[in-house]
Amino acid sequence: MRIAIYPGSFDPITNGHLDIIQRAQRLFDRLIVAVMANPSKHPLFTLEERRRLVQRSLQERGIHEVQVIARDCLLIALARELGAAAIIRGLRITSDFENEFQTALTNRDLDSSVESVYLMTNRDYSFISSSIVKEVKRYGGEVSRFVPQAVERALGEKFQQDRDSHSTQ
Ligand code: ADP
């Protein structure tokens, strides 16, 4: 049984992430999406909100048999705990490469039995990131082509809450 883990902040999940999930699913017997706390990134959504959005987005797309977990821990320790043979990551532009290179070498140093596997972005989603989606939606732009419906709704609600709390201050 070949298990892979796909970790990320998923703040929030986008169509780019979903594309990686579907392609990774074909390569491994079991895929686990691990929503990582990543507090240094100051996420917009809480860890539990992000986990639920991943879960709903998978349901919305009819993607089954992918487990979703949320954790605040060291990735390589989690991979070992889950018995994962591989850590899946997506690669977009060259700036992704620099970070990923450093992370992969560190993880290999910590545990050489877990392989880092990189999937090249789909051309159609190469420009999509959680940050750009948040930026567009924050200023009222259209994001329906970039994210599942559940995420679009959640972003709308989140920014509405922000506007409400600012208007009462
Ligand atoms: P992190 O904070 O760990 O980078 P992200 O949620 O930003 O978490 O990304 C998780 C993984 O998904 C990363 O490997 C990232 O490169 C990949 N990814 C994000 N968006 C895309 C995309 N549009 N196409 C391919 N891979 C992507």
Residue-wise pLDDT for 138-150, tens only, equals 999 999 999 999 9
Q: What is the pTM of this model?
A: 0.94
d(CA 151, CA 58): 11
Residue with the nearest Cα to atom 16 of ligand 1? 90
Please list every protein residue whose CB sits less than 6 Å from any atom of ligand 1: 8-10, 14, 16-17, 20, 38, 41, 89-90, 92, 96, 121, 125, 128-130
Whether the pLDDT of residue 162 is over 90: the answer is no
Distance CA 89, CA 30 (A): 15
Distance CA 128, CA 7 (A): 17
Closest residue CA from atom 4 of ligand 1: 8
